[in-house]
Amino acid sequence: MDILGRRTGGEFIETLLEQRLSQTRISAPDRRLCHELAYGIIRWQMTLDWLIARKTGNRTQKPALQNLLRLGLYQIFWLERIPNHAAVNETVELAKTRGFGAQSGFVNAILRGYLREFDATKQALLELKNNQPALGYSHPEWLVQRWEPRWGREQTKQLLEWNNIPPKTFARINSLKADAGKLLTQWRNEDVEYDFVRRDWLEENLIFELKSHPPLASLPSFAQGLFYIQDPSTLLAVSDLDPHPGEAVLDLCAAPGGKLTYIAQLMQNQGRLVAHDTKPDRLRLVQQNCDRLGVTCAQTESAAEFRQFGSAKTSPGFDRILVDAPCSNTGVMRRRVDLRWRIRPEEVQRLSAGQLSLLKAASAVLKPGGTLIYSTCSLEPEENAEVVGAFLKTSPQIQLQKERELQPFKDGVDGAYVARLVRTS
């Protein structure tokens, strides 16, 4: 994978970076700096390239050399903890060690030129955000053109800014193994600093923001399954699903298992909870999370098993079904660092067809009087209300009870859409 965030072998930059860092001995501060540099220059790629083009007459550079210039400029204009002269010197030295000794003077000249124009360039970057938001906030123009007519210039800028801020880490208490008192006491002993999180769809003392902590995998409380890392927005779907002990519940797209394990928590591990996903490795991930969190009422099910169940005339059906559909992920763009450069306009329409198929498949195994939740982490109407509308036109036995869209610039959480449907007959 290159620094732009393009994938190799289907893996994301977050996964590849963690794999590489796990093979090195690096201090916690240096690890954080590595994350900041890698993610930062991916997020701000378009704006960084604009700065480079201003000094190079729009001449195309070799990819590795372009990355070095991005790295230096990001440290100068986006990071305050690294002195500017140190950023220039380290970038020039890195150019020499990476086989660009002949171009080290070129790198030095561009970066030092911007040091001389630092204040004027900061002002130019600020004006760029106001006059050309896509370029100023480093987002594809087509996305900004989709969002601005819907929300207006100011709220669109708030969303663009949100997407460029490193996400906070939130943890959900696993009440199958601990209560808030037990976990918070253990966190204090593990040097975990936390804060309370309150939203109208959350139970009291359910979600906490982790403000600082050692590596999560090293915490005994994590290994013991006392909590699960999960953004507050993801719990709205389960809250509206409202599962109860003893019911039959289906999570149709269960991996990695965050919503599923919260469903089990609300069911108090009593009843029948089926976790479906299409790929065996994703189901293994679900099972791993269930094992760590002590979920015993869940069973994993392959696509073939689901088709067989749905075609059986004697199928007892489910009381509640969650369809957390694969989507464009535009509501979680700040967490998927390279997403903005991978997603394409036509993908939204392509995904909506599959989302509609999932709803139809789910409704076929929903009991009369049962609840069906459709949710995405997309902000796009074509994947949300329009999919539900198309589904309702062909499903007279299903009624929409309510729907809600969480918007980062209004709700302070990742974007999400949730519709609560019920089967009347």
CA separation for the pair 245, 409 (Å, rounded): 36
Decide if 377 is catalytic. Answer: yes
Identify the active-site residue in 253, 290, 297, 377. Answer: 377
C-alpha span between 406 and 270 (Å, rounded): 30
Q: Which helix (H) or strand (E) holds 116?
A: helix 104-116
Phi-psi region of 235 (alpha: psi -120 to 50; beta: other; left: phi over 0): alpha
Question: For the CA atoms of the chain, what is the radius of gyration?
Answer: 24
Say if residues 270 and 297 touch (Cβ distance below 8 Å): yes
Residue type, 135: L
Taking the mean position of all CA atoms in its chain, how far away is CA 35?
A: 16
Determine if the peptide bond prior to 256 is cis (ω within 30°): yes
CA dist., res. 259 & res. 212, Å (int): 24
- Cα 352 to Cα 260: distance, rounded to the nearest angstrom: 23
| Alpha helix stretches (DSSP H) within 44-83 | 45-56, 63-78
Q: Which of 398, 400, 403, 390 is nearest to 369 (CA)?
A: 398
- Rounded CA separation 193/302 (Å): 40
CA triplet 244, 246, 247: central angle to 5 degrees?
A: 65
Surface-to-core class of residue 158, CB atoms within 10 Å of its CB (0-12 exposed, 13-18 middle, 19+ buried) = middle
Distance CA 330, CA 201 (A): 22
Interatomic CA distance for residues 206 and 198, integer angstroms? 9
Dump the DSSP string for 73-107.
HHHHHH-SSS-HHHHHHHHHHHHHHTT-GGGHHHH
Q: Which two tokens stand for residue 163?
A: 């997407």
Tokens linked to 220: 């005994």
Whole-number Å distance between alpha carbons of 207 and 236? 12
Unique residue bearing structure tokens 């440290």:
75
Using DSSP bridges, classify how beta strands 193-196 and 248-251 pair: parallel, antiparallel or unpaired.
unpaired
Q: Which helix (H) or strand (E) holds 374?
A: strand 366-376
The catalytic site residues sit at: 377
